[in-house]
Structure 1
Amino acid sequence: MTADLTLYTNPMSRGRIARWMLEEVGADYEVVLLDYAATMKQQPFLAINPMGKVPAIVHHGRTVTECAAVCAYLAEAFPDSGLAPNADERADYYRWLFFAAGPVEAAVTNRSLGVVPTDQQRRMVGYGDYDRVVDVLEQAVAAHAYIAGDRFTAADVYVGSQVIWGVQFGSLPKRDAFDAYVARLVKRDAYVRAAALDDAAMAPAA
């Protein structure tokens, strides 16, 4: 019998974001571990995500990919978790969720690849320049305890993951606001559970 909710992942990937979100909503789910060299680039997974990338979730036969989308989807699919935004949080919730998925992701990736847009190219790349993106992200996480206000939401799983990894791996500069935000997030029970599960799966999946 196929599970109602399946996570396709690798513990050394952005799949850790989806795992954290699944633990936050308290859903029962099955895990399929994929490796980069083979199963991630082959059928049957390519029928689920033709990009050959993880994570992907399949819920009641419907596929969701892209980490920000997975977080938003699960918050709505499991409303009892209380992780979808209320009316007062909705604007900041979507604004910063997609800011992290767009400008932050692009700026950090380009910087890690040594790509520095010229002044003319900054008009084309969408995020402008890395320093501006970092400054705006800092302002966003410093404005409230959490990204959409004083309450943890699904947007914090995605935005928080970007900041946690940025601080850990040095793709974001040292900022007090980043450190304070990370400190709040990594204490969450769901974060701790998800990290332990992925760490335990890391050796056989490597």
Structure 2
Amino acid sequence: MLTFYTNPMSRGRIARWMLEELGQPYRTQVLEYYTTMKAPDYLALNPMGKVPAIVHDGKVVTEVAAICTYLAMTFPEAGLMAEDKAAFFRWMFFAAGPLEQAAVNASFGWHPSGPQEKRRAGYGDLADVLGALTGHLAAHDFVADGRFTAADVYVGSQIGWGMQNGGIPANAVLQAYWARIRDRPARQSAEALDNALIRENQP
């Protein structure tokens, strides 16, 4: 049995999509910011005091990219691990590092100015990051293998959320990629479950 620690207003929505793609039973434990996420029993699992996290067979996995990768490798029958491991890991970690860092920094209003700051940031700037990702997706319908994998859950979620909320400027390539994956039944199921949790907890 899998236990899934989350909050419907968090990156746990990405992990939920991955879990729904698996088709495996799992138990959801909803945690609240500043209270149950910081409680001693949860901090013993994740000292960062944030979600999501999963526990599977006594093993704790945190960080969404790690969760998606672990689940894809642990449940190969779901077909979510790519044969092209180079592309899978390259773009999974690209999204977990440069893409998320650049998008979050931009959402806070910080943009590297000039070559020296771009070098120190490690990712250049948001335009550099999106240029690299757009180039890959212009030549490939999916992140790896020419088909949907766990990398698309993670990379696609970053793109979809970013375009919807303003952190990632939309372009035709990214919009077309998101359109290819956003209506998957597992994503729709995950959205419905998390949206129901939000409604249940509204005052």
TM-score by length of structure 1 reads 0.94
Deviates more, 1:170-179 or 1:113-122: 113-122
| 2:95 pairs with 1:107 | no
Query: Pick from 106, 126, 129: which aligns with 2:125?
Result: 129
Look up the equivalent residue of 1:18 and give its one-letter code.
Answer: A
Give the % identical residues. 54
The alpha carbon displacement at 1:91 in A equals 1.1
Q: Whole-Å Cα distance in 2 between the matches of residues 18 and 40 of structure 1?
A: 17
Q: Structure 2: any 5+ residue segments left out of the alignment? A: none
Larger mean CA deviation between 167-176 and 156-165 belongs to: 167-176
SS of residue matched to 1:172: coil
8 Å contact kept, 1:84–1:154:
yes
Give the C-alpha shift of residue 178 in structure 1. Answer: 1.1
Matched, 1:9 2:6: yes
Normalising by structure 2, we get a TM-score of 0.95
Where do residues 174-185 of structure 1 align in structure 2 (5 Å cutoff)?
174-185=170-181
Task: Trace 1:125-164 onto structure 2 (pairs within 5 A).
Answer: 125-164=121-160
Deviations 1:46-101 (A, max 9, x none): 11111011000000111000000000000011010011111xx2111111100000
Structure 1 distance, partners of 2:154, 2:201, is: 23
- How many residue pairs get aligned? The number is 201
Q: What residue in structure 1 maps to residue 43 of structure 2? A: 46
Alignment partner, residue 92 of structure 2:
97
> Which stretches of structure 1, 4 residues or longer, exceed 3 Å deviation after superposition?
none
The counterpart of 1:64, out of the listed 48, 53, 61, is 61
The offset of 1:115, in angstroms, is 1.4
Contact 1:9 1:32 in 2 (8 A): yes
- For 1:203 and 1:187, the matched residues in 2 are separated by 22
Q: Which amino acid aligns with 2:29?
A: V
Query: Contact (CA 8 Å) 2:72, 2:79: kept in 1 or not?
Result: yes
Q: 2:31 aligns with which of 26, 29, 34?
A: 34
Query: RMSD value over aligned CA atoms?
Result: 1.1
